[in-house]
Structure 1
Amino acid sequence: MSLTHPLAAAVAAVLLWAPLAAQTQVIQPIKAEKTTETRTVPLAAGSTLKVKNVNGFIHVEAWDRDEVQFTGEFKPSSRDEQVKVVLESGKNGLEIRGEYPKHNGWGSYQGPQCQMTLKVPRRVVSSLETVNGEVALSGTRGAASLTTVNGGVRAMDLGDSLQATTVNGAVTLERVQGGLTIQTVNGTIKGTGLDGLGRGVKAETVNGTIHLQIAGLKGHLTATTLNGGITFKAKGAEQVEVAKRRVTATFPGGDQDIHLSTVNGAITLD
């Protein structure tokens, strides 16, 4: 009895059920000069997108296609090095990361840069992270995490929960629907057209003002500051307590927590 046919069938079955291997593209300009590179890779709606950078902004805008268009604006280092950008697709989504040369030693050195601009499917779960540069996201309908150190964070027309974090920069939000967690150290927090959708709103800074416009306030408000005033529209509020540096209130109809905190700055809630 021949084993050839059953063996071939078994191998075919293994290949059929094996997970798809990751597909990788690498972008690294050869010449030591400013240049722009563009790549397009497929990404199904509802997938996860991770973008990591170091020196350069990350700007992401939604479009109605099941693919990601990446555009990188490259600038070489003072030693003619270029950033290597890796685009890695797998069963869990797409990861785009900038890999930077290591630098040791003394003397003046200016590292390479890559400014990243992307167009992505509207329904995507996003994690965007850089160190030196702004992070901006608009138009998506999935949960998002935006992180930088030296730069601002901007978000516009989002339809799910958002976590936005920076150290030296402002956070600016427009028309964000979903739970919010916002943190900065040296910067203001400003948001218009917000709605926590019952999932809560948390905004914290140290050196900066907080000014938020939240639709249909429902839940428990706590606002604290050390050096600055607190202003909010108390119409319909219950259990209002006003102290020198702290205000608490309850808005009937929901149980979400609205927590606003700064040290050096005023708080305004519309």
Structure 2
Amino acid sequence: MKTARFIPLLLSLSIGQALADTPINLSHEALPNARVSISNIKGEVTVSAWDRNQVQVTGRLGDGAKPLAIEGSNGSMTIKVESQGKSGWLNFGSDTSMGATTLDVRVPRGASLDIDVVSAPMNIDGIDGGTIKVNAVSGKARINARSPNIDANAVSGSIELAGSAEKVSLQTVSGDILAPNVGAEADLQTVSGRIRVSGGPWHKLNLSTVSGDVQLGGGLASNGTFDVDSMSGDVQVQVPSNLSAIIKASTFSGDLRSDFGAVKKGDHGPGSELRTTAGSGAGKMNIETFSGDLRIRRQD
């Protein structure tokens, strides 16, 4: 009866195959402004808003992941993909053999989101009114929303922000930052990625980069502040013709050109600087580059 020896093995293989890539179909009643926290180690996360007071999760659960559940109350809930093996921060130290999990999450349109992903691209679409916080290690983050506050951090993935946000904090290490409609406040940081941002009128804008090129477009609010610091990337700033600000700009070894005021060459070095007032000087603009070129242009 050698066949009997293989029955336990066949059963275990059958169970393993049944658990692999398991379909997900979960739902939970939710308040219109519920906070939804989502984390995924590997795979993909897509969040779409709809006009229902309900959170729905579909997709497929990767092999080696624990059974998924929506935990919490109608006002605050968590959806977390975890490995059956050891766990750490975001399960970063978990079993690398765990399969990719795809999460398709529907949330109320006014919901707030808190999303953590490791090796997973992430897409958010349709949020209107809720705050958004995103942390990504190697996945690209795409956010199409209208939000009072968006806080997004990525290591090697880019951040693409559509829609509009009154206040943003966007930080990457090697990924790009693309945000065409930023409101009153912006904190932008990258090491080697490009920054393409427009919006305003800004009450406060802080930007720093090491080697990425920068393109900024937008106005400055009365008494607003505008600070840009770049090491080796080129910087181009385009502002309205009715700009009202005290402008201070300098570059150590790059080329400096401005449609406002007169640029002066350094007396004892290769650098250039600009000190001028546009309009009544209601705001303050400070722009510094080390080796990158700097352009300050008047928008027609």
- Flag whether TM exceeds 0.5 (same fold): yes
Q: 1:75, CA displacement in angstroms?
A: 2.9
1:228 maps to 2:230? no
Which position in structure 1 is the counterpart of 2:122?
135
Contact 1:207–1:264 (CA under 8 A) maintained in structure 2: no
Choose from 49, 64, 67 the match for 2:51. Answer: 64
- Aligned pairs for 1:70-149 (under 5 A) are 70-76=57-63, 81-90=64-73, 92-102=75-85, 110-140=97-127, 141-149=129-137
Report the Cα distance in structure 2 between the residues aligned to 1:61 and 1:247, rounded to whole angstroms. 47
Alpha-carbon shift at residue 241 of structure 1 (Å):
1.3
CA contact (8 A) 1:59 1:118 kept: yes
Letter in 1 for 2:80: R
SS for the counterpart of 2:231 is coil
- Per-residue CA deviations over 1:93-112 (Å, capped at 9, x if unaligned) read 211111212259xxx95222
Q: Distance in 2 between matches of 1:46 and 1:248?
A: 48
Structure 2 distance, partners of 1:260, 1:149, is 30
Larger Rg: 1 or 2?
2
Q: SS of the residue aligned with 1:31?
A: helix
Please provide the CA RMSD for this pair.
3.6
TM-score by length of 1: 0.73
Which residue, out of 241, 255, 263, partners 2:248? 241
Give yes or no for contact 1:242–1:248 (8 Å, CA) kept in 2.
Answer: yes
Q: 1:45 to 1:266 in 2, by over 3 A?
A: farther
Query: Higher relative contact order by CA 8 Å / sep ≥ 6: 1 or 2?
Result: 1
Task: Specify whether residues 213 and 109 from structure 1 end up closer, same or farther in structure 2 by C-alpha distance, changes over 3 A only.
Answer: closer
Q: 1:260 to 1:244 in 2, by over 3 A?
A: closer
2:48 is equivalent to residue 43 of structure 1: no
Q: Does 1:159 align with 2:147?
A: yes
Deviation (angstroms), 1:30: 7.3
Provide the C-alpha distance between the structure 1 equivalents of 2:59 and 2:284, rounded to a whole number of angstroms: 40
Q: Is this contact kept in 1: 2:49–2:125, CA < 8 A?
A: yes
Q: Give the superposition deviation at 1:67.
A: 0.4
- Judging changes above 3 Å, is the alpha-carbon distance between structure 1 residues 87 and 112 closer, same or farther for their aligned structure 2 residues? same
CA distance in 2, matches of 1:249, 1:180: 29
Identical-pair percentage: 19
Q: CA deviation at 1:247?
A: 9.2
Q: Note if contact 1:201-1:258 (Cα within 8 Å) is conserved in structure 2.
A: no
Match 1:207 to one of 192, 209, 218: 192
Q: Which amino acid aligns with 1:244?
A: T
Preserved contact between residue 48 and residue 126 of structure 1 (Cα < 8 Å): yes
Bigger CA drift: 48-57 or 160-169?
48-57
Answering whether residue 49 of structure 2 is matched by residue 53 of structure 1, we say no
- Return the offset for 1:242: 1.4
- Matched length: 231
Structure 2, unaligned runs of 5 or more: 1-15, 88-94, 202-218, 253-272
* 1:47-103 deviations in Å (ceiling 9; x for gaps): 211112211222111110000110132232xxxx34422211325421111121225
For 2:85, the aligned partner's letter is K
The whole-number CA distance in structure 2 between the counterparts of 1:260 and 1:68 is: 45
Write the distance in 2 (CA, Å) between the matches of 1:32 and 1:92. Answer: 31
Q: Secondary structure at the match of 2:81?
A: strand
Are 1:228 and 1:267, in contact at CA under 8 Å, matched by a contact in 2? no
CA 1:238–1:116 in 2, change beyond 3 Å: closer, same or farther?
same
Q: Quote how far apart the aligned CAs of 1:232 are.
A: 1.0
8 Å CA contact 1:209, 1:266 repeated in 2: no
TM-score by length of 2: 0.66
Moved more, 258-267 or 152-161: 258-267
Q: Encode CA deviations 1:112-168: one digit per residue, 9 max, x unaligned.
A: 221111111011111111111122212212111011111111111323210001111
